[in-house]
Amino acid sequence: MRKAIDLATVPAARSADGLAVCRALFGDRFVDRGSLLAIALSNLNPQNHMGIALGNMTRMERGESWSQGQNVTPKIGRLLEELDGERLAIAGALGLEVRTIFQHFHLSFHVPISSISQMNQEMHAAGNGGTGPATADSRYVTEDVPFGLVVTARIGRLAGRPAGLHEAGVRIFSAMYGRDFAAENDLLAALALDSMSLADLQKLCRDGYPAA
């Protein structure tokens, strides 16, 4: 069970109420991040899965059984750390506090803070490293690229902090799969995010849509 879980409410003015309800139901393990935008930028799965999938795609395609934690080798771990740096730079530009990848692995998997590769080796040694995908048709790519990497990259552009590695990941996976993953996120199209200013997005995340 995770030691800390981030939350936010829409509208943000109801955050104290949301925090109280969650604590009453599940205990004192929640952290109010104060903004839905902070929650969006707290999603580490897309960046982590990008690095893991890129480094182990042949294992996925061949349907091999492989330890995910063990195969977060030093170079894959370094890529994950650099991807995290892009996400943190976007959050910092927006004045948001989000958890780092080091805090994520520490709080979620109860390993001491070290390099990301070393933390994953600790997880593997403890039998908690997990098994990597045994197919290329994996949510690590088909969900996390359009609905994770693309979102972070779009927010980064709005914040004036382009996420070059995230954007490269979208393009590389699109080339590998012969798909336009950036165009597959129908939620962003419905939100008309491309026509929003940063102030518009911040207001929407803070207040939600006006009542009909």
CA atoms within 13 A on the CB side of 51: 24
On the 0-12 / 13-18 / 19+ scale of CB atoms within 10 A, 47 is buried
CB atoms within 10 A of CB 3: 9
8 Å CB contact between 51 and 74: no
Q: How far apart are CA 160 and CA 66, in angstroms?
A: 39
pTM: 0.91
List, for residues 158-181, the tens digit of each pLDDT value.
999 999 999 999 999 999 999 999
- Cβ pair 84, 47 in contact under 8 A: yes
**Chain-wide mean pLDDT for the chain?**
94
How far is C-alpha 32 from the geometric centre of its chain's CA atoms?
A: 18
pLDDT tens-digit readout, 26-55: 999 999 988 899 999 999 999 999 999 999
Q: Can you give the pLDDT at residue 194?
A: 85
DSSP 72-125: --HHHHHHHHHHHHHHHHHHHHTT-----HHHHHHHHH---S--HHHHHHHHHH
Q: Where are the domains of the chain?
A: 1-34, 37-207
Least confidently predicted of 21-25, 29-33, 90-94, 180-184: 29-33
Gyration radius of the chain over CA positions: 18
Once rounded to an integer, what is the mean pLDDT over residues 136-145?
98
The CATH architecture assigned to 37-207 reads Orthogonal Bundle (1.10)
> What amino acid occupies position 52?
I
Residue percentage of the chain with pLDDT more than 90: 86
